[in-house]
Amino acid sequence: MTLREQHTASIHRFAKELGFDFCGISKAEFLEDEAPRLEKWLNQGMHGKMGYMANHFDKRLDPTKLVDGAKSVISLIYNHYPAEPSQEQMGYKIAKYAYGEDYHFVIKDKLKEFFSLIQEEIDADVSGRVFVDSAPVHERAWAAKSGLGWIGKNSLLLNRSMGSFFFLAEIILDLDLIPDGPIKDYCGTCTKCMDACPTDAIPEAYVVDASKCISYLTIELKDEIPEEFSGKMEDWIFGCDICQDVCPWNRFSKSHHESRFDRRDIEKSKEQWEELTEETFRVIFKNSAIKRTKYFGLMRNILFAKKNPAG
């Protein structure tokens, strides 16, 4: 076994030991195929008011601009599918990924441990950076390039063994590793995600108009929710899982094994959500992804859903 093969095997072993479900490796190079797609999407204004999506265009496509001398991109999958996903009996709806502690904290801790193992067991002089949805990294493109799955018609990465209810993370480093190849697209003729979206946020296969996506409207948008979405939000007040819930590949979803993702105090009636005080919000969602909307953003979402019920 060559040194490169040994290093690659070690990377896959570290990922398994740290609880990541899948690990894939890509050569750190410019994402040539993604560049025109991203540029067209931005030019059409489908990023809405997420100005940061247009920033650092080159960095989003070229990992060597994020890490000097980068040679490899390690892509990782970490499951977040809850043991009790159904919210039919709940009041307003929260995306499954936000049930527990903020994933940025949970996964960042694991990535730091991962990088320490690389420096301890492979080479102390390895340089790199770890990422989890917090820098201009084209996560899904790298994950697909490394064979972790394919990008579905809802623009999310789909994995044949576990669907799409997972987080993606990356390590970009100057260590030469053996890359994995991409896999084929298994969406076939299915259009369930497109058909189910109540705001028509998937105008064509593999293209999501984020400015119409319920996740964008309830999290990223800081202004008032436009009236055109009246009656279409289906009681979602933080994120949305509709296009994932209807995806046939998510029948393979299995419960996560991360105690920090266990459900916190979100099982409230509509009345309890509507009466939520700012002080209670700060206590309950101190280390939660829901904190991102801030109290007034969450209350805006609740009020909009209350005033404009579906159907």
Active site residues: 133
Report how far Cα 230 is from the mean position of its chain's Cα atoms: 26
**298/8 Cα distance (integer angstroms):** 44
Distance spanning both ends of the chain, measured CA to CA = 62
Residue 309, exposed/middle/buried by CB under 10 A (0-12, 13-18, 19+)? exposed
- 8 within 8 A of 26, measured Cβ to Cβ: no
- 134 within 8 A of 159, measured Cβ to Cβ: no
Task: Say how many CA atoms lie within 13 Å of 237 toward its Cβ.
Answer: 31
Name every residue whose Cβ is closer than 8 Å to that of residue 96 and which is 6 or more positions away in sequence.
80, 81, 82, 85, 165, 241
DSSP track, 194-209: HHH-TT---SBTTB--
Report how far Cα 159 is from the mean position of its chain's Cα atoms: 13
Helix (H, G, I), strand (E, B) or coil at 169: strand
Structure tokens that stand for 179 in this block? 């890359």
**Helix/strand/coil percent split, the chain, to 5:** 40, 15, 45
> 207 phi and psi, to 5 degrees?
-130, 120
Tell me the CA distances in angstroms from 177 to 8, 172, 197, 218, 252, one per residue in order.
Answer: 5, 11, 40, 40, 30
Helix (H, G, I), strand (E, B) or coil at 207: strand
